[in-house]
Amino acid sequence: MNQNQFKWFMPGDLDGFFGLMIDNLIQILVLSFLLTTLCGVPGDFIYKVILPGTAISLLLGNLFYSWQAYRLGKKENRSDVTALPYGINTVSLFAFVFFIILPVYKKTGDYKTAWQVGLVASFLSGLIEIFGSFIAEKIRKVTPRAALLSSLAGIAITFISMDFLVRTFQNPLIAFLPFGVILLQYFARVVFPFRLPGGLVSVVLGTILAWCSGIWGNPIMDAALLKGSASQIGFYLPILSIGDLYSALGLTDIWEYLSVIIPMGIFNVIGSLQNIESAEACGDSFNTRDSLLANGVGTIVGSFFGSPFPTTIYIGHPGWKALGARAGYSTLNGIFMTLVALFGLLAFIQALIPVEAGMAIVLWIGIVIGSQAFEATPSRHAPAVVIGTLPALAGWGVLLIQSTFNYADRSIAGILENAGVKETSHLWMSDVPLSLPFLPYPMGGLLSLSQGFLISSMIWASIAVFVIDRDFKKALITCLIAAVLAGTGFIHGFTLRGNDILNQFGSSFNSFVTAYFYWEFYFYWLLFFERNLERFKLIQTKNTFFGSKIGIELVKFKCGSSHNFIRLKFKKTIRLNRYKENVYVMIS
């Protein structure tokens, strides 16, 4: 028998399943919470309409990526191919809720109209993904690997690792031991009794500790909540919602949300592209167009069955591969999430298994992604990787600040309302001068760096790579692209409305455009004189001097490194000086 025969299920697939399942469950819990608390969507509508539609898209996508991994394994005669992870797009989830569904609900007071507009947004986002699949491979070829992976590393360090690390330290008695299990198996390669998967051991151990937390006086689980969650269990078939989607297309103000839909669709394509590159860095070279097409089709099918949220190729392929997951974890996740949605099991699972029990696996994923950005790129590009992580750090900082303002604003409003004050005051970010160093640095710079950080991470890391490689032409082109993106609001542009940070799309010649033009001029200047050097011929001589009226003196010298530098002096008449018996002579 061929030792490299691909197997659908491996022991590591169980670990990968628990991690991806926790990740998907968190997304569904978040969307359920936001829709019910902010957008007035009844819980029954979520369980009977939205979640079954989401399950359809998750099942189709996960099955496709499992089959794709199987096909690649058969083609390359390998048994270690790991399927691309797939699920609901986190960034689009928040963007669609806060900038599309919520504004429509506030304007109309009708949650169903808001949901219908969300269906249109998801449908159009899927179309953008399908269109992007035909040009994404070209983008991947011209973008340095450090640029693609560093932005993922920034997200992994902040929105994944820091999130779950903070939760771990919030409940150390519950979360430390599961995390220790993960570290032992995947750092130290410790094998547990009966060869039990570390992910399974981690989840079971965390669940037991959570239910025993009342022993040390800090209970976090509620048996009554578990019992009450059983009322949601039922059978909910997906409902075809094409009619609702079509009716929403006729709304007069639907197109004003294109300023959110188009950027989110582009960000989704870029994010998926980065994750495909991350998989290739691990040795799994999936077809870019097929991967993105499946992503777009999954989003569109989901919108046909009532899901207003796009799907995406998830970050984390290196982590799942390191866990030993192959194709089976994706299949298991698709089947499990479908059963959860169709049978209304979400509330029951949430009440049974705490987040602390499974987050150790997700924390491990973030660590692996962050380290891959350095390991899979040339060592000389390490500074570019660091630069590429900085915009994501700014994005995470803005999230903390915005959450603080929202909490303080609600607290102040509640206190004043209880005191009988009718006209309440607010604590809003928009009232704080952007140049006021109260963080203790100005908030304006942090907001500018955070806006469009997925793209600006790639831009800055690419510029750094091209500078390191002394490819000033590509650096100049990248700066031109950055200037266009800054001028249209895709990066750095924002406006504050209360505590909401809104994208500022549109054409404007702002300070960032000017700054990027400065860089363009700088790189053009370097490129010009570097090209002129090619017009000089090196002549070996000892005692020859040449006169010239060109007006530029060129001196070749060493500056403590392997690179040659050029010093320029402007004079009326000059001579080309000899340096260590080498003389440059103009031959034109």
As a whole number, the mean pLDDT across the chain is 81
506 Cβ contact partners less than 8 Å away, ≥ 6 residues apart: 488, 489
E strands, 76-160, are 86-88
**Tokens at 352, concatenated:** 């049974």
Which tops the pLDDT comparison, 10 or 137? 10
Beta bridge partners of 582: 540, 579
- Say what the pTM is: 0.71
Of residues 6, 143, 2, 128, the one with CA closest to residue 67: 6
Kindly report, residue by residue over 291-305, the tens digit of the pLDDT. Answer: 999 999 999 999 999
Kindly report, residue by residue over 339-395, the tens digit of the pLDDT. Answer: 999 998 888 887 888 877 777 877 887 888 788 889 888 999 999 999 999 998 998
Kindly tell me the sign of the dihedral angle through the C-alpha atoms of 42, 48, 49, 54.
Answer: positive
pLDDT at 200: 80
pLDDT at 535: 53
pLDDT at 253: 67
Beta bridge partners of 312: 87
Kindly tell me the sign of the dihedral angle through the C-alpha atoms of 117, 120, 124, 130.
Answer: positive
The residue with tokens 């915005």 is: 402
pLDDT at 263: 65
569 — phi, psi (to 5°)? -130, 135
Measure the CA–CA gap between 539 and 537, rounded to whole angstroms. Answer: 6
Kindly report, residue by residue over 25-36, the tens digit of the pLDDT. Answer: 877 877 887 798
Kindly tell me if the per-residue pLDDT of 431 is higher than 80. yes
Kindly tell me if the per-residue pLDDT of 85 is higher than 90. yes
Quick one: residue 461, left, alpha or beta (phi over 0 = left, psi -120 to 50 = alpha)?
alpha
Kindly tell me if the per-residue pLDDT of 64 is higher than 70. yes
pLDDT at 532: 65
Kindly tell me if the per-residue pLDDT of 135 is higher than 90. no
pLDDT at 546: 43
